[in-house]
Amino acid sequence: MAKLNLLAVCLLVSVGMAVAGDMMRKSIVYDKKTPDVFYCPQQKPTGFDKMIVRAKPLSKLCELEGKPLPPDYKSDCYNDVDESEYACKEKHRIMKRLTRKAEGKGDLGRDISAEDY
């Protein structure tokens, strides 16, 4: 019975960590009304509705292009979420949207999904 309880606790902890990690990973926010900036957390978020964010220039998003962070690197966002793999994919998606807008193609009201890559 003790092993079953330990297994249940480990499972709950794993699920909790996955949810918290997903919140951090998806904490990069882009608003098409402000196309020159993205928003990222400045402190550890406790929930999406309580996240404190700061606007940063779009050029700062994934500026190292997925390369390892240098030892003297000062992050723009909490926990370096602006340099994560998700952030680089998000920048690619945003730049694709901005390119379409500049070329006058497509409906910018719809979100670009993974199928568009």
Where do the structural domains in the chain lie, given as residue ranges?
2-116
Q: How far apart are CA 79 and CA 84, in angstroms?
A: 9
Q: How far apart are CA 117 and CA 114, in angstroms?
A: 6
Q: How far apart are CA 56 and CA 45, in angstroms?
A: 17
- The pTM of the whole model exceeds 0.75: no
In tens, the pLDDT along 82-97 reads 999 999 999 999 999 8
Q: How confident is the model at residue 56 (pLDDT cuts 50, 70, 90)?
A: very high
Q: How confident is the model at residue 46 (pLDDT cuts 50, 70, 90)?
A: confident
Q: How far apart are CA 108 and CA 33, in angstroms?
A: 11
Q: How far apart are CA 68 and CA 88, in angstroms?
A: 13
